Amino acid sequence: MLNIIFMGPPGAGKGTQATRIVDEFKIPHISTGDMFRENISKGTPLGLQAKAIIESGRLVPDEVTCAMVKDRLAKDDCANGYLLDGFPRTLPQAEELEKIGKELGRPVTVVVDLAVPDEVLVSRIAGRRVCPNCGASYHIDTMKPKVEGVCDRCGGKLIQRKDDNAESFKERLKNYYESTAPIAEYYKAKGNYSAVNGNANAELIFENIKTVLKGIK
Ligand code: AP5
Ligand code: MG
């Protein structure tokens, strides 16, 4: 069963590769960042709570994030696999996910960690444009859409994320190294962890991730 986690720093290409993997394997893409942004744009209570935190690049509290993921993983479309993008991000989230997975009978089966050097991340984030409708990512220089400003996948209008500025990025990267990178050890100890070089051509990375996933299916 493909119950996947995508890990990696901000700008590593989690969303870019997740879009490709879910299209190929027909499993739901569960991006906690996208879920929060959707709540923000709809002005829900969760969105109001998360807005300032996300725009400044800090982490949303574990209890809030875990409750949101638990509800999502319980939905019927996750019965035949799922891809978690950007969750878990702290050790308590990883431990809670373990419990949720057991409870629902949907445990994580594979962790893919995309590795990209910091200097590459900076230029990826600075030139990123995203589709708020389907979550697809583009870049003004390296991954242009076919029509400028329009999503290839769903026709949505591309925008720049509010947290894609130098200050918020610095905060996101700091939180990544402090809270998220260490959970790689947690998954390495479980034996279902693979690091994939994320500093390459997107097609090559996609092939390398599929090779990892073939060992699971
Ligand atoms: P989230 O939305 O998850 O942001 P992030 O982790 O900072 O990651 P990004 O989405 O910025 O990067 P990505 O790896 O998806 O890169 P992408 O594919 O777009 O989270 C946002 C916020 O929500 C957090 O800061 C936090 O506040 C909150 N949050 C979310 N989850 C949480 C949790 N679990 N707990 C607490 N808080 C949480 O690619 C980046 C750019 O690079 C694009 O322009 C793309 O076109 C380009 N690119 C991608 N691959 C390549 C390639 N191979 N070559 C050249 N360019 C490439
Ligand atoms: Mg993303």
The average pLDDT across 68-91 equals 98
The average pLDDT across 181-202 equals 97
Question: Is the pLDDT confidence value at 176 over 70?
Answer: yes
Which residue reads 């996947």 in tokens?
4
In this predicted structure, what is the pLDDT of residue 135? 87
Q: Return d(Cα 18, Cα 12) in angstroms, integer.
A: 11
User: Could you list the active site residues?
Assistant: 14, 89, 128, 161, 172
Q: Give the mutation target among 35, 93, 128 for probing the ligand 1 site: most ligand atoms within 8 A of CB.
A: 128
* CB burial of residue 48 (10 Å; 0-12, 13-18, 19+): exposed
In the chain, pLDDT over 70 holds for what percent of residues?
100
Question: Is the pLDDT confidence value at 124 over 90?
Answer: yes
Amino acid making up residue 59: L
In this predicted structure, what is the pLDDT of residue 53? 98
Cα(136) to ligand 2 centroid in Å equals 9
Give, using CA atoms, the residue closest to atom 8 of ligand 1. 10
Q: Look over the chain and give the mean of its residue pLDDT values, rounded to a whole number.
A: 96
Which tokens is 215 given?
């060992």
pLDDT by residue (tens digit) across 148-157?
999 999 999 9
Alpha helix positions (H), 105-182? 118-126, 166-175
**pLDDT level of residue 216 (50, 70, 90 thresholds):** confident
In the chain, pLDDT over 90 holds for what percent of residues?
97
Give the domains, in start order, of the chain with CATH numbers.
2-117+171-214 (3.40.50.300)
Answer yes or no: is the C-beta of 72 below 6 A from any ligand 1 atom.
no
The count of C-alpha atoms lying within 13 angstroms of the C-alpha of 79, restricted to the half-sphere facing its C-beta, is 3
Answer yes or no: is the C-beta of 126 below 6 A from any ligand 1 atom.
no
Answer yes or no: is the C-beta of 128 below 6 A from any ligand 1 atom.
yes
In this predicted structure, what is the pLDDT of residue 217? 65
Question: Is the pLDDT confidence value at 110 over 90?
Answer: yes
